[in-house]
Structure formats: structure tokens, C-alpha cells
Amino acid sequence: MIGRMSAIAGIGATEFSKDSGRSELRLATEAVRAALDDAGLRPGDVSGLVTFTMDSNAEIAVARELGMGELSFLSRIGYGGGAACAVVQQAVLAVTAGLADVVVCYRALNERSGRRFGQAFASPDVDSGWHHPMGLATPGAMVAMVAQRYLHDYGASTDDFGRVTVAARRHAATNPYAWFHGRPITLDEHRASRWITEPLRLLDCCQESDGAVALVVTSLARARDLARPPAVIAAAAQGSGPDQYVMTSYYRDDVAALPEMGVVARQLWGQSGYGPEDVRTAVLYDHFTPYVLMQLEELGFCGRGEARHLIAGGGIELGGRLPVNPHGGQLGEAYIHGMNGIAEAVRQVRGTAVNQVPGDGPVLVTAGTGVPTSGLILAAA
Amino acid sequence: MITETAQRLKEAGETEPRAGRDPVNLPMIRTWLEAMGDANPAYERDRLAPPAMIQVWTMRGLGTVTPDDPLQVMSTVLEDAGYTAVVATDSEQNYHRYLRLGEEITVRSRLESVTGPKRTALGEGWFVTTVSTWFAGGEAVADMRFRILRYRPEPRGERPDVAPLRPVVTPDTAFFWAGVEAGELRIQRCGECRTLRHPPGPACPACGATKPEYAVASGTGRVHSFVVHHHPPIPGRRAPFVVALVDLTEGVRMIAEFRGPRPAIGDPVRVFFDDGLPVWRPDQPVLPTWELTATPTLIISTALATRDFQNVHHDRDAAVRLGGRDIFLNILSTTGLVQRYVTDWAGPEAVVHSIAIRLGTPCHAYDTLTFTGQVVEAGVVEVVGRTAAGVHVTGTVRVSS
């Protein structure tokens, strides 16, 4: 088992913006250096690098810029934001197998000033050929198809989606690192925002951001001797469901479900020994609000179709039953493909978050939904 | 100047009644029916005018100026400001009753809105919307909301054309797209265990065989889910549009655009094929396809039969100078052809209550114009007229028999 064998020892990030004004490689370099500084390590200590297949920065390029020496572990994970926690799992596997001592996971992107994922584009991918030409060509539209069925199956309303954004923006409002710092919204503002793809409004969609995040993973034993208290990786899991597609898993019986997150959840609880009732706060991947509701259900925080009751009355806000995304999430802080959420989970474990959730329970983090995904449970040593 | 004039005209409200030049008369009706190729015998038999002729009765002749007409005043102001080219974009006509031979017709118009300047596919321009009401004696017999675009023509090739997203055809999927070309909706079927599957692939997930065959689907199904896409722009499509996930009767699901009134989950749909793609429609009767060639004779004779003397409808040099490829159909004629398409199907006893159309790509001389239509609910027919260059007209016709 890999649970509690390793830890996140350092986190680093650039500022989060709409136009970084510099290359993605420079963003990656800055974030990795910051993460190493945070851990009290030097570039020469690094023996492994892991990132997303979508990342434009070669591991060897990052290594060159930082003057790293020899590397013994290089790996990438696919499926967009679904990779976020899986890159950490790769690092855990390398560290626990003895293939590398210190592994840095990074993701750097100029997603607002460079290629914007939300726009339609011609893809040569065979699967997308069943959707893009038919006009279903953006992530928002692909999620909207699931969201419409979710509303129909469970009697939820678009206000329930809106409450997710209201919570995220409330949390971002008191996070100085968040793009939407100082800018909370009301449910009426969600209702008034324009349609992107019905039933999704603009305020159901995460931001587009420029920035980078890096995480330093090492063995728990080594982490105990480093600068920061270790965020123990109590569980790290990846998951893909039956008849899985990227954003368009419309061909299995239940469209309004995320069975791939169920695969992740079962492993997270199994590896860590925790259950949903133990979780202090959850950092749930929030590129689109409906998937936050569906994740709450797949992870077992409530029954199927009951997430709207959990989020009603501020249930996922600070002080609620299960505070979700205390940093503001990708709706409120920034869209760094889920990696900024892992950094937030580390801060929550350390007790250094700007919106610190009290208690000593573990923190759950998830990665991109609607795609093969991943998750982590982090806990104090 | 543009907004000031628009404001003044809007405040002026409805114009005084302006009389048509001739009473409703058989010679003009016959000329119109001949030009449209409309053989419906009911008009002459019952001494009635085709409803789509309503605008014709009060068209100005060649060179007549009506200084208080809001559309004409706005057009002059915009032309002086450099917006030299004009296309009609929308016409929504409601017919309270058919006009009878000998009736004297008047029209009153008001300016509803002037919006711009806007970036359009043709160039920068202003949309001018007017509302007209026709009277016979004191009785309102028809009304119309009419929109034109006055624009600065842009030389072709300045704008990068964004190509529509095309299917990805591989050896595993080619049978499906060949089916679309053949007008069939094909579902992959395992050659061993006969399991149906969509989207297709090289192997059968049920039995493992790599012997894919296909079945031809009935083309019917029910909406499992749908979205209404507004933003961002999708190449080749005009938002908002609907995409639906459909449970086919055969038991597999499939994504395609849905055309028709906003659907609900569970609604029955039927497939048809357009532009190399499957498209869902409400499962309602379909009109036979009508194909006609827009000969110069058709374009010019219908323009004159509708008393539209704009040079772009009969003078090729003028049309080209104003940025067109050739002369093109005027909106009154497109309205007439839409009416003919629906009444040819509905029969001579049908009564047309309204025709609302929106124009897209112009229908130029020598284009083949293909009409398709479908009943979307009782008494409501949706019509699409397409040329090789794209959708020329989409329209909704209300009709009773």
C-alpha cells in the first residue's frame, strides 16, 4: 500500500492572472523554484519530474532552467485536469518504489492569454468526431448535456448550481491570492449572468487563468526533516469508469453520474481508512458547478441526487457542514487545472490557509471531472 | 446624425396612411403567380390575392419618393454615411384575412429600432426595423415587422472564414458517414453477437469479436438530454442552437443538432440529414424536398412582379459593384417562394396566416435553391431554403386547412 508513505513537503506558485506576460516555461520555472524554496530543498535535490500531457513544458526544459542534475523519474498523465491528483500519485509511486527521492509535480499554463480551453476548436481525435461536428464543441456544452439530465433526474434547479458559485466567490473574497478577491456575488447575480450553454450560465463556469503551481513530493521520513510540516499523502487514486469518454460519457446507462469519481472514492477511503464523515474540508474540482454537486454524491458526502440539500443554506460554505474549496476554487481563485486546489489542501493541513477550516481531520482533493480523474487525501503527520 | 434621425422618426410614430398605387387586381396577381411558378388555382377562382403579395400592393414604383417613409429616410441617411449596400434580413408577416379583388389598400409604418454600427458577415452596418400595418377601408388586414441591414461592403477575402468542424472519418467510422451520404442512419452491429453499439469502434466490447457490421436504424428516438448553445461561437453555426442526445429506438444513444422548437427530455424525434451530418427534428410530417434553379429570369421576373426595382435584383453589373457575386433574389420573392412551397404541400384550400422569414446567404443567379420543411406542431411549418453557399432562408409558416 502507498498510503502514508510519502508527503507533500513544499508548494509553490506564481501569481494568478489573466495575462502573465511571460512564457509558460518561465511560469513553470518560477513555481518549481518557489516549491523547492518552500520545502527547503535545492534544484540539485530533485530526482523526478511529473506533469500533465497537456503541459507545454518538457521536464528536461524545466530541469535545465533550474540547473537540476541527473533525473531518474519522468512521467506525464493525460486527460486534462483529470491528471491533477494523478501526477502526485505518480510521484508517490516513484518515491515509495525507491525510483526517486524528491519528485516535483508542476503545471504551468497561459490559459487566458494563450490557448483558451473554452473555445471551439477542430480536433483530429476520433471520439470528438461524434460531438464537435454536431455543434457540441466546447467543454461548457459537453457538461451542460450532463447537467440538463441531472436537473431532470433529480429535480434540482439552476439555483442549486448557482449556490456553488456563491460559496466559491464568498471564499475567494477573503483570499488575497484569488482573482476574485473582494468580489463576492449573490444568487441573483448568478441568475442574471448570461447563458453560455443552457442550463449553464457564465457564472457556472470557472475562470480562465494564467499561472503555475508546483508541488514537492518526498518520503514521509525525509519530509519530517524538511522546512515545513509534512502534508501526509494518506491516499492517492486514479479512476476511469466503464465506457469512459473525455467529457462525453453519454453512452452508459446513467448520464447524470460520475462513476470514474466513484472508482477514485472507493480507493481513497480504502487506502486511508477514512470515511466521508472524517473529512474536514474538501477541495473539489470546479470547472463547472454541476460537477461539484455530482462529486459530493459520488464521494459519499450525501446520497445520489441529494447534493442540493447539502449545499442549501450554506452547507458547503465556511462554517457549514462541509466547507468546499475554502480558497475559492477555480471559480474564485484561479484555474490552474486543479493544481492550485492541491496547494490549498496542503495549506489546510499545515494550518496556514487564509480561510483556515478548524479541526485536525483530513483534507480531500479531487481532479478534473467528466474525464478519467484522480484524488488525494492529505492529513497531518 | 444616424441616431438623431432615428430618434426623430421613432418619436414621430406611425405615418399617415399611404395608398397603394393600384387596387388589388388580377393582372398583377397573375404576373406574380407566373413569376413564382405558383399554380394554386384558388386565388383566381375565389378572386383573392396571395397573402405573400401584401407588401407588393404598396411598393413604390420605379423612382417614386415618399419623403415621410421611415425606412426610406433612414436608408438615405445611412447611405450618405457610407453604408451604401442594403440587404433585407427579416420579414414577419401576419395576414388577418386574404385581400379581395378591387380592394383599395393603404399602409402605415413606424420605425421600431435602428441598431449599430455592428460587425456583420457582410461588413460594418446598421439594422433598421420597421413595423407596417395594411388597411382595407378602416380594417387592418395585415401587418409586418421588416428588418434591413445597411452596410459598407467589404472586399471578399479580408475576413478569415472559419471552416465548420468536420467529422473525423477513420476505417472504423467510415460506414457511418457513408450512410449519412446515402441518407441512412447506420448503427454498428457486431457480426458475431449482433450487439448494437454507438459510437462505433473496431471491436465488440460485448463479445470481443473484430467483425463490425452495421444495421440501418429506423431514424426515430427520444430526447435523453439536450443543450441550448449560446456562447462561444461555433464555426459554421448561428447561436442559439440546440444539440440533443437521443435514445434511438434501437437502443443506442447518439448526438446531433436538433432543429425545431425547444425540445423537452422524452420528446420523440426523427433523423434527417443536412450538410453531411445527421440532424434531429421533432417526429412530425416532413414536406417533400423542392429544388429549383434561381435563373436570372426567375430573379428578375419575381423582382418586377413584386414591384421591387432595386438594381441588385436585375442588373448584374450593379450587383457586382455592390459586392455581390451576381443578381440575387429579393426578400419579397423569397417570401412568395416560401408560401408556394407550403401551399403546394398543404393544398389550394389551405389558408396561410403568417410567414416569418430570416435571410442568410443570398440566393444568386444560377444557384440551386433547395427547400426542406417540416410540421413542428399542428398548423406550423418550418422551412429551410439552402444553396450551395449556405442557408438562404429559414422561416415559419402558420397555415390551416
Of the CA atoms within 13 Å of residue B310, those in its CB half-sphere come to 24
Residue A121, pLDDT above cutoff 80: no
* Residues B73, B174 within the same domain: no
Residue B163, pLDDT above cutoff 80: no
Residue B386, in any domain of the structure: no
pLDDT at B159: 42
Look at phi and psi of residue B62 and say left if phi exceeds 0, alpha if psi is from -120 to 50, else beta.
beta
Residue B157, pLDDT above cutoff 70: no
Cα dihedral value B345, B346, B350, B355, nearest 10: -70
Q: Do B256 and A250 touch (CB under 8 A)?
A: no
Write the ipTM.
0.95
Distance of CA A323 to the CA centre of its chain: 16
Which band of pLDDT confidence, cut at 50, 70 and 90, is reported for residue B156?
A: low
**Cβ partners under 8 Å of residue A35, min gap 6:** A10, A11, A12, A104, A106, A214, A215, A216
B65–A contact, CB cutoff 8 A: no
Chain B residue numbers touching A122 (CB-CB < 8 A): 163, 165-166, 235
Residue B369, in any domain of the structure: no
In terms of Cα–Cα distance, which of B275, B297, B296, B271 is closest to B374?
Answer: B271
Residue B87, pLDDT above cutoff 90: no
B199–A contact, CB cutoff 8 A: yes
Which band of pLDDT confidence, cut at 50, 70 and 90, is reported for residue B122?
A: confident
Distance from CA of B261 to the nearest CA of A (A): 15
**Terminus-to-terminus CA distance in chain B, angstroms?**
49
Distance of CA B373 to the CA centre of its chain: 10
* Residues B151, B61 within the same domain: yes
Amino acid sitting at position A18? K
* Mean pLDDT of all residues in A13-32: 98
Residue B92, pLDDT above cutoff 80: yes
Chain B residue numbers touching A148 (CB-CB < 8 A): 225-227, 265
Q: Of the ranges A114-123, B123-132, B151-160, B197-206, which one carries the lowest mean pLDDT score?
A: B151-160
pLDDT digits over A39-72, tens only?
Answer: 999 999 999 999 999 999 999 999 999 999 999 9
pLDDT at A330: 98
* Mean pLDDT of all residues in A73-90: 98
Residue B288, in any domain of the structure: no
Which is higher by pLDDT, B239 or A170? A170
Distance from CA of A87 to the nearest CA of B (A): 29
pLDDT at B61: 79
Q: Do A248 and B277 touch (CB under 8 A)?
A: no
* Residues B60, B194 within the same domain: no
* Mean pLDDT of all residues in B123-142: 94
Distance from CA of A175 to the nearest CA of B (A): 29
Chain B residue numbers touching A129 (CB-CB < 8 A): 167-169, 173
Which band of pLDDT confidence, cut at 50, 70 and 90, is reported for residue B158?
A: very low
* Residues B40, B149 within the same domain: yes
Mapped onto helix, strand or coil, the DSSP state of residue A33 is helix
pLDDT digits over B277-288, tens only?
Answer: 999 999 988 899
Q: Do B255 and A134 touch (CB under 8 A)?
A: yes
* Mean pLDDT of all residues in A199-214: 98
Q: Do A197 and B253 touch (CB under 8 A)?
A: no
Interface of B with A in 137-196 (CB under 8 A): 163-170, 172-173
A253–B contact, CB cutoff 8 A: no
A132–B contact, CB cutoff 8 A: yes
Residue B286, in any domain of the structure: no
* Mean pLDDT of all residues in B303-327: 92
Chosen for mutation from A125, A130, A161 (greatest number of chain B CBs closer than 10 Å) is A130
Distance from CA of A23 to the nearest CA of B (A): 26
Q: Do A197 and B237 touch (CB under 8 A)?
A: no
pLDDT at B286: 87
> What CATH number is attached to the domain comprising B105?
3.10.129.10
B255–A contact, CB cutoff 8 A: yes
Mapped onto helix, strand or coil, the DSSP state of residue A76 is strand
* Mean pLDDT of all residues in B218-246: 94
> Cα dist. B385→B113, B197, B331, B390 in Å?
27, 34, 13, 9
* Residues B212, B240 within the same domain: no
Residue with grid cell 504551468, as numbered in its chain: A108
pLDDT at B72: 87
Residues of A annotated as catalytic are 285, 335
pLDDT at B284: 87
Q: Do A197 and B234 touch (CB under 8 A)?
A: no
| Cα angle, residue B29 at apex, residues B28 and B32 outer, rounded to 5° | 85
Mapped onto helix, strand or coil, the DSSP state of residue B3 is helix
Which band of pLDDT confidence, cut at 50, 70 and 90, is reported for residue A20?
A: very high
Chain B residue numbers touching A199 (CB-CB < 8 A): 227
DSSP-derived letter for residue B163 is P
Chain A residue numbers touching B238 (CB-CB < 8 A): none
* Residues B179, B148 within the same domain: no
B243–A contact, CB cutoff 8 A: yes
A201–B contact, CB cutoff 8 A: no
Decide: residue A232, CB within 10 A, 0-12 exposed, 13-18 middle, 19+ buried: buried
pLDDT digits over B41-50, tens only?
Answer: 999 999 999 9
> Cα dist. B370→A306, B291, B331, B386, B389 in Å?
50, 4, 16, 5, 12
- The three cell numbers of residue B194 are 449482433
Distance from CA of B201 to the nearest CA of A (A): 10
Chain B residue numbers touching A135 (CB-CB < 8 A): 229, 234, 237, 241, 243, 257
pLDDT digits over A145-193, tens only?
Answer: 999 999 999 999 999 999 999 999 999 999 999 999 999 999 999 999 9
pLDDT digits over A269-323, tens only?
Answer: 999 999 999 999 999 999 999 999 999 999 999 999 999 999 998 999 999 999 9
Q: Do B277 and A251 touch (CB under 8 A)?
A: no
Which band of pLDDT confidence, cut at 50, 70 and 90, is reported for residue B114?
A: very high
By Cβ distance, the residue of A137, A194, A251 closest to B253 is: A251
C-beta of residue B136 within 8 angstroms of C-beta of residue B105: yes
C-beta of residue A212 within 8 angstroms of C-beta of residue A13: yes
C-beta of residue A2 within 8 angstroms of C-beta of residue A93: yes
Decide: residue A276, CB within 10 A, 0-12 exposed, 13-18 middle, 19+ buried: middle
Q: Do B229 and A122 touch (CB under 8 A)?
A: no
Chain B residue numbers touching A124 (CB-CB < 8 A): 168
Residue B377, in any domain of the structure: no
* Residues B68, B141 within the same domain: yes
Which DSSP string corresponds to A217-286?
EEEHHHHTTSSS--EEEEEEEEE--TT--SS---SSS-SS--HHHHHHHHHHHHHH---GGG-SEEE---
CATH class of A6-114+207-380: alpha beta
* Residues B139, B268 within the same domain: no
C-beta of residue A371 within 8 angstroms of C-beta of residue A248: no
* Residues B172, B60 within the same domain: no
Query: Residue B332: which domain range?
Result: 2-155+295-344
Instruction: Mark which of B179, B199, B216 sits at the end of a domain.
Output: B216
> Cα dist. A269→A3, A60, A277, A296, A311 in Å?
11, 35, 11, 14, 22
A138–B contact, CB cutoff 8 A: yes
Total domain count for chain B?
A: 3
Chain A residue numbers touching B200 (CB-CB < 8 A): none
Query: Chain A residue with minimal CA distance to B279?
Result: A134
Residue B155, pLDDT above cutoff 70: no
pLDDT at B162: 58
Q: Do B224 and A255 touch (CB under 8 A)?
A: yes
* Residues B24, B151 within the same domain: yes
B252–A contact, CB cutoff 8 A: yes
By Cβ distance, the residue of B224, B232, B277 closest to A118 is: B232
In terms of Cα–Cα distance, which of A200, A218, A202 is closest to A94?
Answer: A218
- The three cell numbers of residue A35 are 516549491
Residue B216, pLDDT above cutoff 70: yes
B77–A contact, CB cutoff 8 A: no
By Cβ distance, the residue of A118, A130, A138 closest to B199 is: A130
* Residues B7, B72 within the same domain: yes
By Cβ distance, the residue of B173, B235, B243 closest to A141 is: B243
A151–B contact, CB cutoff 8 A: no
Q: Do A137 and B234 touch (CB under 8 A)?
A: yes
Residue B160, pLDDT above cutoff 80: no
Residue B281, in any domain of the structure: no
pLDDT at B161: 46
* Residues B176, B131 within the same domain: no
